[in-house]
């Protein structure tokens, strides 16, 4: 099965890297990991789209553990230099994944406003604080799926709410 191997960083753990794999695009996975219990978002440091996922992550993580330190055997966090991670990713077959061009601040604010309006219409009695938190996650999800110039619809917002 095809997929992605990726390395994320976060300000919450400045000396650690999250190295994992999956079928979701790296930016979508990073957005997914940015949950209520996490203070800072994850940043995609390096990622590759690979034709076959099987065995890639295990090999990569074994090498990372030997060249650095795996924080816990059941977690994908490693204390290792970014240079080492990038060198190992260079050895992985596949295409380097690059994210789409970042959304402009005006476009982002416009998207957030539209999503907020739809969410408020759908649930007029909702707590403003809860809506505000969800609005950012829904807007990020829509931007990842449909691009910067997305015109959100009620159906798109409903769908995004089921995945955040």
Q: What is the pLDDT along the chain (164 residues), one digit of tens a residue?
A: 899 999 999 999 999 999 999 999 999 999 889 877 788 999 999 999 999 999 999 999 999 999 999 999 999 999 999 999 999 999 999 999 987 666 778 888 888 899 989 998 988 888 888 888 888 888 888 887 777 778 899 998 888 888 77
- Considering its fold, how many domains does the chain have in total? 2
* DSSP class of 23: S
- CA 160 to chain CA centroid, Å, is 14
- For residue 28, what are its two tokens? 């979508």
Residue 100, pLDDT score: 66
* Gap between the Cα atoms of 137 and 144, Å rounded: 11
26 and 76 share one domain: yes
Residue 109, pLDDT score: 86
72: helix, coil or strand?
A: coil
* Gap between the Cα atoms of 98 and 94, Å rounded: 13
Question: Of 47, 65, 96, which one is at a domain's C-terminal end?
Answer: 96
* Gap between the Cα atoms of 87 and 114, Å rounded: 42
- For residue 4, what are its two tokens? 């992605």
92 and 111 share one domain: no
Question: Of 60, 76, 96, which one is at a domain's C-terminal end?
Answer: 96
17 and 61 share one domain: yes
Residue 108, pLDDT score: 82
Its domain, for residue 112, covers 105-163
92 and 29 share one domain: yes
Residue 102, pLDDT score: 66
- For tokens 């449909």, name the residue: 146
Question: Of 96, 119, 154, which one is at a domain's C-terminal end?
Answer: 96
């Amino acid at each position: 099965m095809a997929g992605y191997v990726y390395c994320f960083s976060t300000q919450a753990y400045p000396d650690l890297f999250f190295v994992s794999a999956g079928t979701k695009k790296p930016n979508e996975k990073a957005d997914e990991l940015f949950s209520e219990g996490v203070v800072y978002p994850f940043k995609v440091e390096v990622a590759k789209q690979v034709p076959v996922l099987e065995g890639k992550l295990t090999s990569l993580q074994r090498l990372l553990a030997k060249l650095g330190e795996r924080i816990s055997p059941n977690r994908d966090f490693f204390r290792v230099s970014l240079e080492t991670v990038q060198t190992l990713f260079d050895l992985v077959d596949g295409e380097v994944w690059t994210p789409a061009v970042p959304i402009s601040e005006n476009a982002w604010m416009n998207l957030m406003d539209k999503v907020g309006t739809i969410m408020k219409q759908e649930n007029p009695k909702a707590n403003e604080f809860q809506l505000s938190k969800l609005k950012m996650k829904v807007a990020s999800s829509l931007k990842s799926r449909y691009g910067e110039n997305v015109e959100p619809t009620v159906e798109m917002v409903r769908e995004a709410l089921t995945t955040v």
